[in-house]
Structure 1
Amino acid sequence: MQPLRISNATRVLAETQDEYYALAIRDEEISGVNHMTSVWEPTPKELADLASGGAVRLTILGTGHPPVMITTQPAPE
């Protein structure tokens, strides 16, 4: 998957770390809980994998697993 620039991004993570993708995120507080949201676009191969019954995989670097949420969003108009 390739990271996209999220609308109303509030910061960019790993902007100067060449070994990682720069990741634009939007910081929000929703119902008193801090959220950091990013947007990703599947590659054509990943779309084909999903269409043929594949799944989304989430990898967390390190040894602690933070709370995460994976959702979809509609295609841009």
Structure 2
Amino acid sequence: MQIGMIEGHTRVCGKSQGFLGLPLRDELLNVEGIGPVNQMVSAWLPTPQELEALNAGAAVHVKIWGNVPAPMLVEVGEIPA
């Protein structure tokens, strides 16, 4: 997957640490029973080979460094104009 430029990004993380940099859009959610929660949204674009594999039924794997994952969602974004 290639890092995409998320629409309305509010910051880029990791670039100053030598990584490629991950554009993020911060959003504030009001979660029932919890209250306001920040979520960070990034965009990822499959390569042609990955898109072919996804269309053939391959799964999307999400890898998280460390031992305790934070709550997360994996969704499909809007079709580009």
TM-superposed CA distance for 1:2, in Å, is: 0.7
CA distance in 2, matches of 1:60, 1:21: 17
| Deviation >3 Å, runs of 4+ | none
* 1:44 aligned partner: 48
Map residues 14-33 of structure 1 onto 2, 5 A cutoff: 14-18=14-18, 20-31=19-30, 32-33=36-37
TM-superposed CA distance for 1:72, in Å, is: 0.2
* 2:59 aligned partner: 55
CA distance in 2, matches of 1:41, 1:21: 15
* 2:8 aligned partner: 8
CA distance in 1, matches of 2:80, 2:20: 22
TM-superposed CA distance for 1:5, in Å, is: 1.1
Structure 1 regions of 5+ residues with no counterpart?
none
